[in-house]
Structure 1
């Protein structure tokens, strides 16, 4: 039989690379994308994986990529940007770029492959989200919003495609050790009143990611969704996901917020007391 074709965006490192590797090992024809495949070192290239350029969010680039790939049976929308900063200080242009890369681009790419999937009565689309969409953390508002929007598109549109054998799924990783800390875009004014709290949260975030699960574990979850006869709408992996979501079901939104922020060493009342000149307890 002709192997199914899987298109994995952002396949040069991290989750994307591990997913491409696992799918190739399992006999898929795998096409991985990167903004500039020519910059992928020979030692980082995966045997039996084709590499194509793709600028997620650029309609011409996406169409050219799909023409080169041909029929797509599996789409793993993994490419994205991690962004952080006080909402007061994140430039509007940066938020717009983030939503183009994290939401509009993946959704448009999905739209382009769905007609053929529907006609073939088979397709798997996996959006790589983030557990932060369910557990929002201070100074990650733009990123949280982008991942929540991605899950919203996927969850709502899922029922539309089910009658045609096409499944839409979101995989939400928790803390992952991929080196993303060095690539995260940060926005903070030189004299920002949020500097101390921001630095505390980012330090906690970096620490949690350094202890996070390896990308191979997320890739295994993605492949499980791809190969399931009846993929679920949402898979969460890492950061003690089963316990975290069980706790979320019994907490108020305020409780979830306090829990998520406390996990990143952010305590609004302490910040308030400090801003009034009192030493935080």
Structure 2
């Protein structure tokens, strides 16, 4: 995730890859710019792309011919709102935001703001996926393995380890046949909590440790791009350690009370950090 993504062995850039833009131009020329890279100094004004959930729902209701992709997003958002998630905590991004979804091609991307909304949504989505003939589906372990290889997931987890937990992550699912991702991001106040300390001066080179720990607080462990696990090592005096995680494959890995195996770089006496392909966080046993 981030600036680059890989699909079936080909790596693309989200920012400056004009070939990626041209590929999209062939699919939907009404939405995408056809002249390659735009120099930043040529931009006179930036207009933020913003849409409220009420605007999105109202606009979609008025459409005469709603794409299946938009219907899937509408149904999922509407269900979250009806079940009590604050619409102000939900965002939409990607092609749907630009009203540029491509029938039969696009997925859809939502944004959830804040640990409270994320936790509430998780319970709602788990309940929805469990009802008979549910429109919401989460991939099986075998499908998760295929996802791992198809998108060349950058992580120290093996395909087997990735597939052990991926089906239980509510941020990656399929709604009425349309794949979706939920980007779970912190509020402004939570960003401060996620600020890791500087590495101690006496730690000259990366010092990796592997240890078992009990997850004491999972409130911040579900954020997409930078998560925080607060844990107690199984062999110590009960001290709480902060594990900062930049590996998306290692977010949403466990719930409070579960045992984790952690491979992380030491930052200071209280903190560790995991990067993509440089460490891991994986559950060992479920809470009884």
TM-score normalised by the chain length of structure 2: 0.28
**Between Structure 1 and Structure 2, which shows a larger proportion of helix residues?**
1
Which of these two proteins has the greater Rg computed from alpha carbons?
Answer: 2
TM-score normalised by the chain length of structure 1: 0.29
